[in-house]
Amino acid sequence: MAASSRQSFGSVIAAAALAGCPGLLLAADPGPRAAVGQLVVSTGAGDGGLSLSGGRDRRQLVVTLATAAGQRLDDVTHRVEYAVEPPTLAAVENGMVVPRQNGSGDIVISLGQAGPSGSGPPPAAVRIPLAIDRIGDDPPIDFVSQVVPIFTKHGCNGGGCHGKSGGQNSFRLSLLGFEPAEDHEHIVTEARGRRVSLTAPRQSLLLAKATAKIPHGGGKLLAESSPDYELLLRWIEEGCRPSGSTPPVVTGIEVYPTERRLQPDGQQQLRVLARYSDGRVEDVTRLAQYEGNASELADVDEAGLVKVTATAADQRSGTVAVMVRFCSRVAVFRGVLPLDLPLAELPTEAEFVENLVDRHVLNHLRKLRLPPSPRCDDATFIRRVTLDLAGRLPTAEETRRFLTSTTAAKRNALIERLLASADYADTFAMKWSAILRNKRSDDELHRRGSYAFHAWIRQALAENRPYTEFVADIVTASGDVATNPPVVWYRQVNDINQQVEDAAQLFLGQRLQCARCHHHPFEKWGTDDYFKLAAFFSRVGRKPGGQPGEDRIYHRRGTPQAKGPRGVQQPAVLDGEPLAIASRDDPRATLVAWMADPENPFFARSLVNRYWKHFFAVGLVEPEDDLRITNPATNPALLDGLAAAFVESGFDLKALIRLICQSRTYQLASEPNAFNSEDRQSFSRYYARRLPAEVALDAVDRLTLASTSFKGMPPGTRAVELPDPNFDNYFLTVFGRPKADSACECERGSAANLAQCLHLINSEQVLSKLEGARARSLADDTARSAAEKITELYLVAFSRPPRPEEQTAIEAYVADRGDNAEAAWQDVLWTLLNTKEFLFNH
């Protein structure tokens, strides 16, 4: 928890001596200072103890037991015993303090017999002063801040229920409660007011449905004994009052703890406090919504209890983030689940760290006690880096040279060679062309423009233009396709909504689509933010271009603004104030200037995460273009470090790639060790992944020496060189080539499926490739031995020589088919290209 937060919520660390109670510790976030065997209780209140006001005030206590010096902090909120003195003052269940009557007293918390195993006597009980007042003098229920969250919590106003457009069974609520005034009207006055009954509140349709007393499509959502039911009932009893004209709004929520090391089979109770604009602070632990991002590690229930699903036997480690939402506000708890290994099992910095990537990765692995796999061998490296950087298999000759080279820095030299090659530009142009939606809606009319845009992208990458310039040229593109091919982006991304959404997703890692109609459910962005950003694109003008089907894009003079559901918005960057931009100035230039600002919190992070995923199959944030506070990076320090280095380099894409590829992390073996086979997010090993569709097709062609022809493209054109997706090819389709319909890299299918297997095993297209020149030349070649030929095949397919058993088996097979050598070699090729080793980058 940040220091400012600590201050703001008034949590303090109080030594046991302060309260005169040995072992008592009120803490915001107990850390290494906690003594072994101490109970640490977080109340979220000030140092004077816990004060509750009114019968509906609640407070979730979080009780932690320090079980090893600075090493383990176990949540025992649900294990300790709570006693209230006097007992009539309040009740405490699973740490939730519920007031019963006015007065003061103590809550005594003890571990009883459930002390840390083998660590001696149980810790001393903790006594917390408790003061309660205003029971029976509760303020009226506030519809916006108290009633609406109940609908949200139980999913009533979700998109799949009454929150969808048109509502459900004639009852409509605003999506996620972003329009509470409308919600009030729908509940109280619509349907002739039958949804609530002021004279018989318990008979209200609203309650009867929620408790399933009468049939309800959504089932039973509330128990009559639940606090939520009681609150709704009370609200009806009070006359279903709407909130005032300026109801208090939630200005922030805070989760406690924010980060905690978890244990196998362990759990962690969270507490969520909401701060309102009128200064109130309320415990909304039971009203908030929770969502975890790694169910293989931990789940979270609706009461905010995080339960680790991994057992000690699983030997799983990793991080889990729990997103907490309440009234459009979000907070995140981050749990770290380490292995039970001594640090000595992990490599030292000197052994592991090549550059900043490794430093951050190693720090993370040390937290997880997760030992990394060893460095991959040269054969694996040349294949891996050539596929990733150049989108192709290394040639047999390249592999031979590399494997026999004794130069110390040969890996770095290979990286440099590949970065300087045309193949690098082809490969990354393929990537960018797809997410920049470079495709043809009209095959004939758009062909010229799409080719030109692809060529421009390729050229920019080959020249290693700074990423800021690359993006600026696209976003501020003006002119026509002859002078400025990036204007083609505006052809496919042809309305202002698509422009703002694509630009945000592509270049800022922000998915703003939701915020076009309503407040983003998982983010802080609302419709105002959306249309403020959209205003930057409001002056994009179009004229007929020189090429049929292609517009000339220009800055149309005028005041930039965009009309959203809440009125006309002036341009403002995310988290920024509205800007006054002169009518003669292109607002897009202001936008890209902000993007390119080294202090921009989105721009560099978005790119480094995107590129990280290119090389590691998994982004530091997933999805790679959805960076938000509720979707934190698995290694935030690494993301920050990469972004800083990227900015420092002048937004040099090749430098970023160099940094990644030169790291030990990138060069780790994909084979797991005894501990990291389950690792999917900590990069303790290289995650093998299937080749992209285009690369796979080219690899098959390279292995078989067949060629795939693409209509209208020069002979010998490789799939990675295709300018757009408008080339029919079943192989590419079945292997998940993106259609360039959106700015999302998720369009590219990376899964392996049955259709792919069948296509490789027995499709006409692939079988015909076996008849390519490779098999024939091997059969006709009498100068070389079978062993030499097999070695060549293995170098081409796997970038390694064959193992003795492989050599023997193939030699025997070919010899056995001596009467038809070409067919025998075709069989060998068929076998090789159907191996995982061939189809995967590993």
- Please select the residue that binds other proteins; options are 224, 302, 345, 442, rule is CB under 8 A: 442
Cβ 777 vs Cβ 705: under 8 Å: yes
Q: Give the pair of three-digit tokens for residue 772.
A: 């390519």
**Contact letters (x/-) for other proteins, 495-514, by CB under 8 A?**
--------------------
Q: Binding of other proteins at residue 552 (CB under 8 A)?
A: yes
Tokens, residue 730: 């079943």
Query: Can residue 719 be called a binding residue for other proteins (CB under 8 A)?
Result: no
Which of 283, 388, 480, 626 is the binder for other proteins (CB under 8 A)? 480
Distances (CA, A) of 245 to 39, 149, 188, 337, 752: 45, 18, 17, 47, 56
Position 705 contacts other proteins (CB under 8 A): no
Query: Closest CB to other proteins among 667 and 726?
Result: 726
Q: What is the 3-state composition of the chain as percent helix, strand, coil, each rounded to the nearest 5? A: 40, 15, 45
Q: Which residue from 253, 292, 327, 284 is spatially nearest to 96, judged by alpha carbons?
A: 284
**Under rule CB under 8 A, residue 584 binds other proteins:** yes
Cα 420 from Cα 390, distance rounded (Å): 10
CB of 737 to other proteins, least distance (A): 21
Q: Is 542 in the site for other proteins (CB under 8 A)?
A: no
d(CA 802, CA 100): 77
Q: Is 397 in the site for other proteins (CB under 8 A)?
A: no
Closest to other proteins by CB, 212 vs 773, is 773
Q: Which position among 97, 141, 436, 477 is part of the footprint of other proteins (CB under 8 A)?
A: 477
In this complex, which beta carbon is closest to other proteins, that of residue 362 or of residue 472?
Answer: 472
Q: How far is the CB of 611 from other proteins (least distance, A)?
A: 24
Does 476 interact with other proteins (rule: CB under 8 A)?
Answer: yes
Nearer residue to other proteins within complex by CB, 217 or 715: 715
Judged by CB under 8 A, the residue of 104, 478, 742, 807 near other proteins is 478
Whole-angstrom Cα distance, residue 92 to residue 103?
Answer: 16
Q: Which of the stretches 282-290, 363-371, 553-561, 749-757 binds other proteins when contact is defined by CB under 8 A?
A: 553-561
Cβ proximity of 770 and 829 under 8 Å: yes
Closest CB 32 distance from other proteins, rounded Å: 55
Residues in binding contact with other proteins, number by CB under 8 A: 41
List, in order, residues 6 or more apart from 188 with CB less than 8 Å away: 195, 196, 240, 242
Q: Which two tokens mark 366? A: 């040390």
Q: Which of 298, 348, 305, 350 is nearest to 321 (CA)?
A: 298
Sole window of 224-232, 277-285, 311-319, 480-488 interacting with other proteins (rule: CB under 8 A): 480-488
The residue range among 84-92, 552-560, 750-758, 813-821 that interacts with other proteins, by the rule CB under 8 A, is: 552-560
Q: Say how far apart CA 594 and CA 635 lie, in whole Å.
A: 26
Identify the H or E element spanning 593: helix 587-595
547 contributes a contact to other proteins by CB under 8 A: yes
Give dist(CA 157, CA 164) in Å, integer: 7
Shortest Å, Cβ 653 to other proteins = 19
Return the range that interacts with other proteins (CB under 8 A); candidates 23-31, 92-100, 137-145, 471-479.
Answer: 471-479
DSSP states of 5-70: HHHHHT---B-HHHHT-TT--B-SS--TTSPTT-EEEE-SS-TT-EEEESTT--EE-EEEEEEETT
Question: Which of 166, 219, 279, 715 lies at the binding interface for other proteins (CB under 8 A)?
Answer: 715
Q: Which is nearer to other proteins, 448 or 520 (CB)?
A: 448
Is 444 a residue that touches other proteins (CB under 8 A)?
yes
Write the single-letter amino acid at 801: P
Q: Smallest distance, Å, CB 159 to other proteins?
A: 41
Q: Tokens 């940094």 map to which residue?
A: 659
Of positions 714, 804, 805, 818, contacts other proteins by CB under 8 A: 714
Residue in the structure block whose two tokens are 């193992």: 803
Closest CB 484 distance from other proteins, rounded Å: 2
- Tokens 């006055």 label which residue? 189
| Piece of the chain touching other proteins by CB under 8 A; list 30-38, 136-144, 482-490, 736-744 | 482-490
Q: Does 479 bind other proteins (CB under 8 A)?
A: yes
**488 vs 562, which CB is nearer to other proteins?**
488
Confirm or reject binding of residue 481 to other proteins (CB under 8 A).
yes
Q: Is 435 exposed, middle or buried (0-12, 13-18, 19+ CB in 10 A)?
A: buried
Q: Is 445 in the site for other proteins (CB under 8 A)?
A: yes
The stretch near other proteins (CB under 8 A) out of 387-395, 551-559, 644-652, 805-813 is: 551-559
Q: What is the secondary structure of 185-212 as a DSSP string?
A: HHHHTSGGGTT--SSSGGG-HHHHHHTT
Residues that bind other proteins (CB under 8 A): 421-422, 442, 444-445, 447-449, 451-452, 454-456, 476-487, 543-544, 546-549, 552, 554-555, 557, 584, 711-715
